[in-house]
Each structure stands twice: as structure tokens, then as C-alpha cells.
Amino acid sequence: MVSNRSGFAVLLRAWRDRLSPADAGFTMTDGRRAPGLRREELAQLAGLSVDYVLRLEQGRAKNPSAQVVGALSRALQLSRAERDQLYRGAGLLPPQDGTVGVHVPPGIQRLAARLGDVPIGVFTADWSLVWWNTTWSALHGDPAVLPAVERNLARALFGNGAAHASMRPVRSERGEDAFAESIVADLKDAVSRYPGDAQLDRLVQEMREASAVFARLWSTRTAAAQHATERKTIRHPEVGDILLDCDVLIVPGADLRMVTYTAATGSSDAGKLDLLRVTGGRTAAAGL
């Protein structure tokens, strides 16, 4: 492994100064002294504490985990080569080919950030949530308060940990079982494409042990329907039931899924979404 901890701190500060707040989804205001992101903004985007980011930039926190470095690389909108440089600066090997990718291209992040009125979450091939905006947090609860490993839709549906406990009641117009079936089908497809990914294998094994429903769906040979536009009713503790169109958009070349929620202009559900956007959905703490 490469060890260059002071280099890591230098890179972190330089790339934070480089990133435009507007490209990260923050409103530009007069009187900003920082040329790029503020330290608290980077901490918010990466799901870290401001104190920890400060210690990383000062070189006092010397052993960031691969999960932390990955979160920082996404928050800083690094290219793949820059991401690898940041991993090496932390004394870590960059993510290897043949495993589920968690890199979110900068262009996708900028696009999603500029659609701030729409709840958007970006998921990997194993349905791990790796990027979200503030409107997503207002609708589903803040994923940042969950442990990183729990920010996974399969764990939310079939597990028995923090993700499952925090998931809000959701009804799909396709029926109670259709969504679960499609998630399991997606995991089967991911396993076939990433046979060497130990973390993916561990997720599947844990879900088979935790959920009889998952185990049954995993063992079936019947192909589930692919994801399509559907309508979902989400029960929110602040605004009650809210009916939204849910779309799953595939990001070409990155093996990512961008999930969006919208409501027809002028509808009561659009009004509820506007209210959540203003209030931030403050009554809830966590979610996917």
C-alpha cells in the first residue's frame, strides 16, 4: 500500500476549494470567503462530522476507512483517476475492477444537484444508496444518520437492522410483492456480473438468513419484471400519505440507478412535496 497521509490532507483541501457550491447543490450567497465548498458543506455531503473533516484536513485523523474515502470522493465530484489518487493518499488500494462500482460521475452529481426540487437518490448495482439530495432526505429521512452499510434498499426491505427500522411505509400500485421481487432480481443480476465481489456475496447471504421472503424469492427461477415507472404512496410523519410517481433511470456506463419522485403540478401531493422541501421533513431522523 501507498502511505502519503500529508498528501491526503493537501488533496482534500485543494479539491474542496475547487468545487463550486452551486455544482454541489448549495445556494450561492454574498459574503462567502471560501472559494469552493465550506468544510461543513463537505461534511454534510459526505455524511461525516465537521470535526472529523477538520481533523482529516489537518492531518490529525490518519486512518480514514475506504468507506470514508469513497464518500469524500463522491462529495468532491472527483474523476475516477482523482478518486484513485485520494485512496492512495489515504494509504488504501483503490476499488478494484470486478466489484460493484460506487463511483458517481461528476456530471451525474451536477445534474442531480440542479434538480433540487425533485427527491433524487443514486443507487449502485446492489441497491446501496451512495448519493442523495436534501429533498430526498426530507421525503425519506436523512440517510446520513444510518451506518454506511445500512444504506441499502435490500437491507431496508428484508433486513432487521437500522435500515429496516427507519424505512417508512410504502405502497406500490404494482402490488405488495412486485417491488420486493424486482429488488431480488436485480441482486441476482448483480451477482452474475460481479461474481468476485465479496461484499455483495455477504449481503445476499445475510438477507437469505434474515428473511424467509428473500430466501424464497432468491430460490425461485421465475424472472421478475424489470423496473418501470410506478406510483407509490409514502406515509410521511409530517404530511401523511403522499402519492408520487417513482422513476428508476439507468446511468449508462456507470452501473448506477437514479431514483426520482415527482407529483403532477397543482396536485395536493405536489403541495405536500413543496411543504417537505421547505420544512426539510424535520420530524424524521433516518431513512432510504
Predicted confidence (pLDDT) per residue in 84-121, tens digit: 899 999 998 887 778 888 888 888 888 888 887 899 99
Confidence class for position 1, pLDDT limits 50, 70, 90: very low
Question: Do 38 and 110 share a domain, yes or no?
Answer: no
Choose among 31, 34, 40, 33: nearest CA to 19. Answer: 34
Supply the pTM of this predicted model: 0.77
Range of the domain at 43: 5-89
Predicted confidence (pLDDT) per residue in 182-228, tens digit: 899 999 999 998 988 889 999 999 999 999 999 999 998 766 666 66
Confidence class for position 166, pLDDT limits 50, 70, 90: very high
Question: Do 206 and 130 share a domain, yes or no?
Answer: yes
How many folded domains does the chain comprise? 2
Residue 144: what pLDDT?
87
Residue 228: what pLDDT?
66
Domain C-terminal end among 36, 59, 89 = 89
Rounded to the nearest integer, the mean pLDDT of the chain is 87
Q: Which long-range contacts (CB under 8 A, 24 or more apart) does 183-187 make?
A: 183/127, 183/153, 183/154, 183/157, 184/154, 184/214, 184/217, 184/218, 184/224, 185/223, 185/224, 185/226, 186/125, 186/127, 186/227, 187/126, 187/127, 187/154, 187/218
What integer is the mean pLDDT of 226-233? 79
Q: Which residue's C-alpha cell is 482529516? A: 56
Count of CB atoms within 10 A of residue 162's CB? 18
- Least confident among 4-13, 41-50, 193-202, 213-222: 4-13
C-alpha cell recorded at residue 80: 475516477
For residues 48 and 66, the answer to whether their CB atoms sit within 8 Å is: no
Q: Which three-class secondary structure state does DSSP give residue 132?
A: strand
Question: Do 48 and 122 share a domain, yes or no?
Answer: no
Predicted confidence (pLDDT) per residue in 130-159, tens digit: 999 989 999 999 998 898 899 999 999 999
Question: Do 130 and 54 share a domain, yes or no?
Answer: no
Q: Which three-class secondary structure state does DSSP give residue 60?
A: coil
pLDDT over 90 for what percent of the chain? 50
Choose among 166, 163, 144, 149: nearest CA to 52. Answer: 144
Cα–Cα distance, 61 to 83 (Å, whole number) = 19
Count of CB atoms within 10 A of residue 131's CB? 24
First to last CA, the chain: 34
Query: How do 240-251 and 230-236 pair as beta strands?
Result: antiparallel
Give the rounded distance of the alpha carbon of 58 from its chain centre: 27
For residue 193, tell me if it sits in a domain. Answer: yes
Question: Do 160 and 216 share a domain, yes or no?
Answer: yes
Question: Do 145 and 266 share a domain, yes or no?
Answer: yes
Residue 28: what pLDDT?
72
Residue 217: what pLDDT?
93
User: Which of 98 and 275 is assigned the larger pLDDT?
Assistant: 275
Confidence class for position 230, pLDDT limits 50, 70, 90: confident
Question: Do 110 and 78 share a domain, yes or no?
Answer: no
CATH number at residue 215: 3.30.450.180
Question: Do 59 and 153 share a domain, yes or no?
Answer: no
For residues 126 and 100, the answer to whether their CB atoms sit within 8 Å is: yes
Beta-carbon contacts of 284 under 8 Å, excluding residues fewer than 6 positions away, are 141, 142, 168, 236, 237, 238
Domain C-terminal end among 89, 120, 153 = 89
* Complete DSSP assignment for 75-120: HTT--HHHHHHHHHHTT-PPPPTTS------HHHHHHHHTTTTS-E
As to burial, measured by CB atoms within 10 angstroms (0-12 exposed, 13-18 middle, 19+ buried), residue 64 is buried
Question: Do 153 and 250 share a domain, yes or no?
Answer: yes
Confidence class for position 2, pLDDT limits 50, 70, 90: very low
For residue 97, tell me if it sits in a domain. Answer: no
Domain C-terminal end among 61, 89, 117 = 89
Cα–Cα distance, 262 to 120 (Å, whole number) = 10
User: Which of 269 and 98 is assigned the larger pLDDT?
Assistant: 269
Q: What is each CA distance from 207 to 23, 136, 153, 161, 267, in whole angstroms? A: 37, 25, 11, 11, 38
